[in-house]
């Protein structure tokens, strides 16, 4: 069962013990790394890989203390930890950082990017540079953008059309854009941190949610929402980030080593997610989960464009959004 907010305070108290449990840590600067998922998922494996790279390229200079399974809380708690200095590094979805950098929500606009390569091209250019500067100003030093995969609808039944979603209570990321998206289809959005979703779905607080295939299996959500509807409505963009105060105290040589390890890790992560998605859906199928195609794509896209229009004033205008879509 996943941790709830009540467990969060206790988890923080347990952190020193968790860190001490890694008795084999090499000497070096302590770097507390938060991961939402377990050791078998790319979200944690990337940090193991970065730690191994740094052990070769910067021996004895860093001691990555990786805390998996959301023991340090959900994405917003972890982001706050980076700003406060209790956490030095983490991955995060763009959505979870929208409270600090609302312009990042442009990456969450539904049906904006045609495929993975389209998203990658945009982030390799001025859009990625501008967003990185905005995150740094809020205390999040971005060392690379990652792609968690497409988000799909998860439910207890095949809700394949927007009409089928109407009236449903849906868990959403704590983001105004995600709330607006599902409201446009007549659903009732309920913002919840990811560690609370399993219990909320199990007890009927919410009826459905959306998530990537990898995280669907990572959180074992197929046990409570056994149907994944392939909507692919949003490419779940994220960042590999470190706390800006931590970054500023590093020497140029240490920054270069950490950045190089992170860059290699990001490239590995994007490939690993593809393999993990296939493994995740096989895992879900063995447990009784099913995957069905979404229907009535024009109706889904119509709702999405309402979100584009609603958020255009704070995201540079419709012309800028259309330019990204055509890029």
Q: Which of 88, 102, 93 is nearest to 74 (CA)?
A: 93
Instruction: Give the number of other Cβ atoms within 10 Å of residue 35's Cβ.
Output: 25
Q: What is the mean pLDDT of each run of 10 residues along the chain (327 residues)?
A: 41 42 60 95 96 97 96 94 96 92 94 93 96 97 96 97 97 90 95 93 97 94 97 95 96 98 96 93 96 94 92 94 92
Angle at 79 between CA 77 and CA 85, to 5 degrees: 100
Angle at 58 between CA 36 and CA 43, to 5 degrees: 15
Please report the pLDDT score of residue 19 as a whole number.
45
CA distance 89 to 281: 29
Please report the pLDDT score of residue 219 as a whole number.
93
Domain span at residue 312 reads 5-326
Q: What is the domain count for the chain?
A: 1
Please report the pLDDT score of residue 173 as a whole number.
86
Please report the pLDDT score of residue 18 as a whole number.
43
Pair of tokens at residue 15: 């952190």
Pair of tokens at residue 280: 């995740």
62: which residues sit within 8 A by CB, 6+ positions away?
28, 29, 31, 51, 54, 254, 257, 258
Q: Three-state SS for 107?
A: helix
Q: What is the DSSP letter of 271?
A: H
Query: Which residue in this structure is represented by tokens 């941190």?
Result: 193
CA atoms within 13 A on the CB side of 165: 29
Cβ contact 112:229 at 8 Å:
no
Please report the pLDDT score of residue 300 as a whole number.
93
Q: DSSP of 118-181, one letter per residue?
A: HHHHHHTSHHHHHHHHHHHHTTEEEEEEEEEEEEEEEESS---SHHHHTT-EEEE-S-HHHHHH
CATH number at residue 40: 3.40.190.170
99: which residues sit within 8 A by CB, 6+ positions away?
76, 174
Please report the pLDDT score of residue 21 as a whole number.
37
């Amino acid at each position: 069962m996943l941790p709830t907010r009540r467990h969060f305070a206790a988890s923080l108290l347990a952190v020193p013990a968790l860190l001490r449990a890694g008795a084999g840590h090499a000497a070096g600067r302590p770097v507390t790394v938060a991961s939402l998922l377990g050791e078998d998922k790319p979200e944690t494996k990337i940090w193991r890989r970065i730690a191994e790279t740094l052990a070769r390229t910067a021996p004895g200079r860093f001691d990555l203390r990786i805390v998996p399974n959301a023991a340090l809380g959900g994405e917003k708690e972890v982001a706050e930890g980076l700003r406060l200095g209790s956490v030095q590094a983490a991955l995060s979805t763009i959505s979870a950082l929208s409270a600090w950098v609302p312009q990042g929500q442009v990456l969450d606009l539904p049906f904006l990017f045609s495929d993975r390569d389209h998203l990658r091209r945009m982030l390799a250019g001025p859009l990625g540079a501008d967003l990185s500067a905005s995150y740094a100003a809020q205390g999040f030093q971005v060392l690379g953008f990652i792609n968690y995969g497409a988000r799909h609808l998860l439910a207890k039944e095949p809700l394949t059309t927007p009409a089928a979603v109407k009236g449903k209570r849906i868990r959403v990321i704590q983001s105004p854009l995600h709330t607006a998206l599902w409201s446009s289809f007549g659903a009732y959005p309920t913002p919840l941190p990811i560690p609370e979703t399993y219990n909320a779905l199990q007890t009927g607080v919410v009826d459905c949610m959306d998530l990537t295939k990898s995280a669907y299996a990572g959180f074992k959500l197929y046990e409570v929402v056994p149907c994944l509807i392939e909507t692919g409505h949003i490419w779940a963009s994220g960042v590999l980030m470190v706390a800006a105060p931590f970054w500023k105290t590093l020497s140029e040589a240490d920054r270069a080593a950490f950045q190089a390890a992170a860059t290699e890790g990001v490239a590995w992560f994007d490939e690993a997610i593809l393999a993990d998605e296939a493994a995740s859906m096989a895992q879900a199928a063995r447990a009784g989960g099913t995957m069905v195609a979404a229907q009535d794509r024009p109706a889904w896209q119509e709702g999405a464009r309402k979100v584009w229009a609603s958020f255009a004033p704070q995201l540079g205008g419709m012309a800028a959004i259309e330019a990204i879509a055509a890029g």
